[in-house]
Every structure is written in structure tokens, then in C-alpha cells.
Chains A and B, each alone.
Chain A
Amino acid sequence: GENVGLHLPTLSVQEGDNSIINCAYSNSASDYFIWYKQESGKGPQFIIDIRSNMDKRQGQRVTVLLNKTVKHLSLQIAATQPGDSAVYFCAENIGGGGADGLTFGKGTHLIIQP
């Protein structure tokens, strides 16, 4: 797949600043999107999700924006903390109903500078 052999892009942010992590998806049939956080040696941890009938959803310190026109998804993290350092993946569900496995994006390594 497109992710094979590629190294993760890195985003370096000062502690306390806001972070924006972007993700492009290719399948216009995708109707459900999720952001996951993965710390080294651990499984992905659910952060926030959004359905295709929405363009914005907010959680605690996080906001997900969905632009279906350009097939783009972003995750905004407010006031980043050292504990936010991790790899962030967007994932999409293709096929409807949530019954299928997820297709993951390439991932972005977020580094928080003190």
C-alpha cells in the first residue's frame, strides 16, 4: 500500500502552543473518520471521531475538522502538553456501518518541545 516504506512525517511544537495535524484521504465513499494516538510500543488510543455528515467536532482540548470537498481531515490539539507526544493516525471506515476494518493514514509524529 501507499504507506509501505515511508517514514513518518514529524511535527515539532512548543509546549503550550496549539498543534494541527493533517490527513488526506482518497476514498470519497468513506463516511466515518477517527483519530488515534499511538505511543511507542503501544496500541492506538481512540481520540475523537467524526461522521461525514459533520464538518467539525470538538472534544476535550481536541477538535477534528472534516473537509469532504478536498478529502481532508485535521486534528487540532490545544495547549499541547508533553504527554501529547506520540504518533497520530487518522483512520477511515469504508463500506458503511462500521462493520469493516479501518484504513489508516500514514501517521504524524508529534514532538513537544519544552
Chain B
Amino acid sequence: GAVVSQHPSWVICKSGTSVKIECRSLDFQATTMFWYRQFPKQSLMLMATSNEGSKATYEQGVEKDKFLINHASLTLSTLTVTSAHPEDSSFYICSARVERGVLAKNIQYFGAGTRLSVL
């Protein structure tokens, strides 16, 4: 259980185009999903919190108009990188929170990540 699927796993696009990345919770519902970004040999940095049925919450320094997040259902969140440029090339990873009861902490399970290369 607790499987998070991310698609595509790798995408190459031209500068100026937009790219959509999907994150799905396969065997559980997730009211909250998270999007992270990871540069080579570095740690993961939280970009935004995706909330089902409401607007995403972005971390400081992350442009909400550039990284559009939609969480239209309890099993799907999408991240769209708009007008992508070479500096947006990175490894994008989503996670979904599994609730295990009111008093328990919520473990986050991660997707396999999407490698974006912008030419």
C-alpha cells in the first residue's frame, strides 16, 4: 500500500514550452500532496503544498504563476511548469500524505520523480 505514481519519469522540452507532471496516489486518498525540487547532488527543497479543492500554498521564492498546481481530486495533483527555461531543469518529486489516525503523524510517501530537461 501507499504507492505514489508520478508521470512522466523523464521529459525533454524546448525552452518556452509548458510541461505538466502528474502525481497520483494509487491506493489511498490524499487531501494533501507536496511538490519538491532537487538539483543534482543536493537535497530536496519543498516548492509547494497542494490541497485538494483549494489553492496551493507556495514556499517563499517559488513563483506560483510559473509553477501551476492543480489538485482536482483526492488522488491526483498536477504541476505545470509554464514557459520552461533551462534553469528550470531539475528533478521534480511529489509526495502524498497518508493519514493514520487523528493522533498519529502523517507519513509522506514519494513518487519516483520526474527529470525535466529544458533545451
> Smallest CB–CB gap between B90 and chain A, Å?
12
Q: Which of A51, A93, A106 contacts B43 (CB 8 A)?
A: A106
Residue A59 interfacial (CB < 8 Å): no
Q: Which of B41, B44, B111 contacts A8 (CB 8 A)?
A: B41
Q: How far is the CA of A104 from the CA of B44 in the complex (A)?
A: 6
A34 in contact with B113 given A44-B93, A99-B32, A104-B43 (CB within 8 Å): no
- Contacting residues, chain A, for B105 (C-beta < 8 A): 32, 49, 51, 93, 97-98
Query: Interface extent on B, as a size class?
Result: 20 to 34
Main secondary structure of the interface of B (DSSP, over half): strand
- Contacting residues, chain A, for B70 (C-beta < 8 A): none
> Smallest CB–CB gap between A103 and chain B, Å?
7
Q: Could you mark each residue 8-49 of chain B with 1 if its beta carbon is under 8 Å from any beta carbon of chain A, else 0?
A: 000000000000000000000000101010010111111001
- Contacting residues, chain B, for A104 (C-beta < 8 A): 36, 43-45
Query: Interface extent on A, as a size class?
Result: 20 to 34
Interface centre among B6, B34, B41 (most CB of A within 10 A): B41
> Smallest CB–CB gap between A23 and chain B, Å?
11
Chain A residues 65-80 with CB under 8 Å of chain B are none
Asked if B106 and A98 sit within 8 Å, CB to CB, the answer is yes
Q: Which of B4, B108, B111, B115 contacts A102 (CB 8 A)?
A: B108
> Smallest CB–CB gap between A87 and chain B, Å?
9
Q: Which residues from chain B sit less than 8 Å from chain A, CB to CB?
A: 4, 6, 32, 34, 36, 39, 41-46, 49, 59, 93, 95, 97, 105-113, 115
5 closest A-B pairs by CB: A98-B106, A43-B110, A101-B46, A3-B43, A98-B105
